[in-house]
Amino acid sequence: MAENSGTDPAVNTNADENAAKGGTIIMVTVKTPKDKEEIAISEDSSVAQFKEEISKRFKAKQDQLVLIFAGKILKDGDTLNQHGIKDGLTVHLVIKTSPKASGGSTSQASAPSPGVSSSNRSTAGAGNPPPASTANQSQGTGPSAAPAQPGNLLSGFGDLSNLAGLGMGSSNFMELQQQMQRQLMSNPEMLSQIMENPLVQNMMSNPDLMRQMIMANPQMQQLMERNPEISHMLNNPELMRQTMELARNPAMMQEMMRNQDRALSNLESIPGGYNALRRMYTDIQEPMFSAAREQFGNNPFSALGGSPDGSGAQPSRTENREPLPNPWGPSESSTTENRGAGSTATTTTTTSTSGSTPSVSNPLGVGSATVGNGIFNSPGMQSLMQQISENPQLMQNMLSAPYMRSMMQSLAQNPEIASQVLMNNPLFAGNPQLQEQLRHQLPVFLQQMQNPEALSVMTNPRAMQALMQIQQGLQTLQTEAPGLMPKYIQMPMILIPGGIPGAPLSTGGGLPSETPPASAPTSTPAAGANPSQQQLIQQMLQMFAGGSQSTQTPEVRFQQQLEQLSAMGFINREANLQALIATGGDINAAIERLLGSQPS
């Protein structure tokens, strides 16, 4: 290659600069454990100059570079000559990444970034979705947690965010979900934020609750039947706690994964070990994966469940394999029906796995967005509606989930949490207008949910269809005669509960009452958010324990506020009531609302 003698005509522009420094140019190979580059440098250069070239080529900062030649570390002040570095020789390079990063070159993207970033190893990759999804399944609880996480089938939230997307113009639900996922994937920060959401954390620190939720999922139950080990795992509170701890702490997760890998690779080397592993894989992992594919909401937890089982026993193999199937990817098989049948609302959001078919909550979610938006008539919405009517099963399944019901009720009683839940949806964050609308509309339709009749309506496909027609009629009417819409809010709202249940479901993660959730969803302006939230949370908790409920009509609830309003001079009692309902009893907000509609 390069000649030893004489000035080599510039091999590259760098050589020119280097030549200016005097001396012959030599080609030195710079080698990292992963990489190898040839760098032209003047033989009289200093180590510092050499590092400059290297930092350009390897795209790393100069102070991250450590050069080794012939067993000695090259100091910046030394010269290449000093160390006898000549043409054709090799210098070893170590790129120091941040303190805890992988040794050797940075090409090992074991990245400290938690959550979803695709790690260098598939295991870590597989590990990441699980915590994310587990968190989700466990309920992306908190407001923020819910929709933002990939593979979050559980919370119908994911679907509500779709409606936000609708608001933004996209009519293709799958696209929306993919967008969401992409967004989250590319922004691991989001996930960590979500995980740090005290609501999420609180939820995850309650092992019993987690277990309940997981068990409530029929898919999971199936899985458990097939693989009794899994039920062992689930029933072991210690394990659960550990798992949740893991899910909470992505760094720990990775750590665990690595240990798993190591353990497994050790296992492999034992004679006969490989076969044992293979058996493990076929016995446990495959059913898990197929369960996962049907129901992504399941798998992450199962995979996770395997991990704490450090002994290298069965399920541990799971996360070592390829990354979990992409929940947001093109749907594999299952039609909505398959999914719908036998899956509760939680898992229904399988929309992800299904890909093409919007989940149950979707159409409903769409409903809420459409209110007053005209989005209702978007093609996406309509196809959703179609699907709803075609698959009454879905609706029924979703609504029949016991906790669904109680969720809805609790949520109805406390619209604040619902709005918070919605507001914290990262996707929503991009669309304040939508937020506004939803915030106003939430309380109203929440009221609707309290009405058992509304519930039965929702489960009746024909009724739904009729509703849809009415809604369409109303929409038309609205456009034709804008002044004639007194109760337009009411009807569409009925549809919304479907979407919302997803939300409460997530929040319902049965947070311990001590939680100060107010800290988490800070965006909600609702006055007295804290106590009411706690109240809601308690309700949710009770819900899981069997639930209690109290229903009051808005008039009764807002009796006091109504009186106050009329005392202030707002004599239009109906308008007052509407405003109060819309703002959930917040007098100040109601007043603003009233004043807004009567410019003076």
Partner 1 sequence: SAAAADVPRNFRLLEELEEGQKGVGDGTVSWGLEDDEDMTLTRWRGMIIGPPRTIYENRMYSLKVECGPRYPETPPFVRFVTKINLNGVHNSNGVVDTRAVSALAKWQNSYSIRVVLQELRRLMMCKENMKLPQPPEGQIYTN
Q: Which residues bind partner 1 (CB under 8 A)?
A: 29, 31-33, 66, 68-73, 84, 86, 88-92, 94, 96-97, 99, 101-104, 108, 110, 258, 262, 266
Residue number, 96 or 226, with CB nearest to partner 1: 96
Distance CA 512, CA 505 (A): 15
36: left (phi over 0), alpha (psi -120 to 50) or beta: beta
To partner 1, the closest distance from the beta carbon of 157 in angstroms equals 37
To partner 1, the closest distance from the beta carbon of 4 in angstroms equals 14
To partner 1, the closest distance from the beta carbon of 90 in angstroms equals 3
- Name the phi and psi angles at 90, rounded to 5: -115, 135
Show the tokens assigned to 576: 């007052």
Residue number, 70 or 556, with CB nearest to partner 1: 70
Non-local (6+) Cβ contacts of 394 within 8 A are 336, 337, 340, 348, 359, 360, 387, 388
Residue number, 266 or 456, with CB nearest to partner 1: 266
Residue number, 252 or 575, with CB nearest to partner 1: 252
To partner 1, the closest distance from the beta carbon of 103 in angstroms equals 4
Distance CA 64, CA 103 (A): 12
To partner 1, the closest distance from the beta carbon of 50 in angstroms equals 15
Residue number, 65 or 404, with CB nearest to partner 1: 65
Question: What is the radius of gyration, based on Cα positions, of the chain?
Answer: 29
CB atoms within 10 A of CB 494: 24
Beta bridge pairs of residue 31: 36, 92
To partner 1, the closest distance from the beta carbon of 18 in angstroms equals 21
Distance CA 336, CA 352 (A): 11
To partner 1, the closest distance from the beta carbon of 126 in angstroms equals 17
To partner 1, the closest distance from the beta carbon of 27 in angstroms equals 13
3-state secondary structure of 507: helix
CA-based nearest residue to 144, from 198, 187, 85: 198
Distance CA 75, CA 507 (A): 57
Residue number, 32 or 343, with CB nearest to partner 1: 32
Q: Are 24 and 7 in contact (CB under 8 A)?
A: yes
Residue number, 96 or 557, with CB nearest to partner 1: 96
- Name the phi and psi angles at 41, rounded to 5: -150, 150
Residue number, 90 or 478, with CB nearest to partner 1: 90
Q: Residue 455 carries which side chain, given as an amino acid letter?
A: L
Torsion of CA 24, 29, 32, 34, to 10 degrees: 140
> Judging by DSSP bridges, how do beta strands 25-31 and 90-95 pair with one another?
parallel
Distance CA 80, CA 68 (A): 11
Residue number, 117 or 576, with CB nearest to partner 1: 117
To partner 1, the closest distance from the beta carbon of 21 in angstroms equals 23
To partner 1, the closest distance from the beta carbon of 306 in angstroms equals 20
Residue number, 85 or 288, with CB nearest to partner 1: 85
Show the tokens assigned to 228: 């009794």
196: left (phi over 0), alpha (psi -120 to 50) or beta: alpha
